[in-house]
């Protein structure tokens, strides 16, 4: 405990988080990372987290508001053609049920919608090697709202890349899930003092309500 307190004082003394909130820009988009059956369906080893399940429910609520207000939504699944095009993962569960054509790559029906921009990625970040950047540029997006799973893995990687590309990054805490709460909390605390605004769901809903654009 004493060590934890010393670390916290160290970050504060070094100026982490001192700049205050980044705030929303002119045009937000919602990014949904890996809410696919492999992570949300209890039939799969990684799909048994109640925390992830609740994050899906919260994200479904956020997406309903986003779509009603013409806020762009991009969703992704992670998967591969074969083990030969995978990275050197240390997670045994990703080596099955996550190949093209597998049901584990299907989006959770609670968040899937044909109006959204959907694609498959092969690495942790939703940006790496995907068409997302082009899509966001075409939509005039300057702010991304990152949701999905897992917080300590693909969500964090997506947050860092979004920051690196120059976006304002918003993270609704209830819309992200992980296998363990401690990992979720630690990673959001860390990105919150470096790269992103970590917000409540109601704050984000309020921010995107009324953002409707002319068709």
Tens-place pLDDT, residues 155-201? 999 999 999 999 999 999 999 999 999 999 999 999 999 999 999 99
The percent of residues above 90 in pLDDT, for the chain, comes to 88
Mean pLDDT of 24-52: 97
Tell me what pLDDT residue 6 has. 58
Which one is predicted more confidently, 140 or 7? 140
- pLDDT surpasses 70 at 215: no
Q: Is the pLDDT of residue 7 over 70?
A: no
Residue 154 a catalytic site member: yes
Per-residue HEC secondary structure of the chain comes to CHHHHHHHHHHHHCCCCCCCCCCCCCCEEEEEECCEHHHHCCCCHHHCCHHHHHHHHHHHHHHHHHHHCCCCEEEEEECECCHHHCCCCCCHHHHCCCECCCHHHCECCCCCCCCCEEEEECCCCCCCCCCHHHHHHHCCCCEEEEEEECHHHHHHHHHHHHHHCCCEEEEEHHHEECCCHHHHHHHHHHHHCCCCEEECHHHHHHHHCCCCCCC
**The pLDDT of residue 8:** 56
* pLDDT attached to residue 14: 86
pLDDT in tens, 100-138: 999 999 999 999 999 999 999 999 999 999 999 999 999
The tens digit of pLDDT for each residue in 156-166 reads: 999 999 999 99
Tokens (6 digits) for 157: 């990687």
Kindly state the average pLDDT of the residues 28-49: 97
In the chain, what are the domains? 24-208 (3.40.50.850)
pLDDT above 70 as % of the chain: 94
Angle at 61 between CA 110 and CA 198, to 5 degrees: 115
d(CA 139, CA 28): 9
Using pLDDT thresholds of 50, 70 and 90, give the confidence band for residue 17.
confident
Which of these is catalytic: 76, 149, 154, 175? 154
Q: Are 76 and 142 in contact (CB under 8 A)?
A: no
């Amino acid at each position: 405990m004493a060590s934890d307190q010393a670390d916290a004082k160290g970050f504060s003394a070094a100026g982490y988080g001192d700049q205050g909130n980044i705030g929303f820009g002119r045009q937000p988009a919602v990014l949904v990372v890996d809410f696919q059956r492999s992570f949300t369906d209890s039939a799969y080893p990684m799909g048994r987290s109640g925390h992830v399940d609740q994050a899906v429910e919260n994200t479904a609520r956020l997406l309903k508001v986003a779509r009603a207000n013409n806020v762009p939504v991009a969703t992704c699944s992670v998967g591969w053609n074969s083990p030969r095009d995978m990275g050197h993962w240390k997670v045994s569960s990703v080596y099955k049920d996550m190949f093209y054509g597998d049901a584990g790559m299907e989006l959770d029906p609670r968040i899937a919608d044909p109006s959204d921009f959907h694609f498959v990625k092969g690495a942790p970040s939703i940006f790496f090697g995907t068409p997302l950047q082009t899509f966001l540029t075409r939509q005039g997006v300057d702010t991304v709202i990152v949701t999905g799973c897992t917080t300590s893995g693909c969500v964090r990687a997506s947050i860092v890349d979004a920051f690196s590309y120059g976006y304002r990054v918003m993270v609704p805490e209830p819309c992200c899930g992980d296998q363990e709460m401690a990992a979720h909390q630690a990673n959001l605390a860390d990105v919150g003092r470096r790269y992103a605004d970590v917000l409540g769901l109601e704050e984000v809903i309020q921010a995107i309500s009324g953002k409707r654009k002319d068709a």
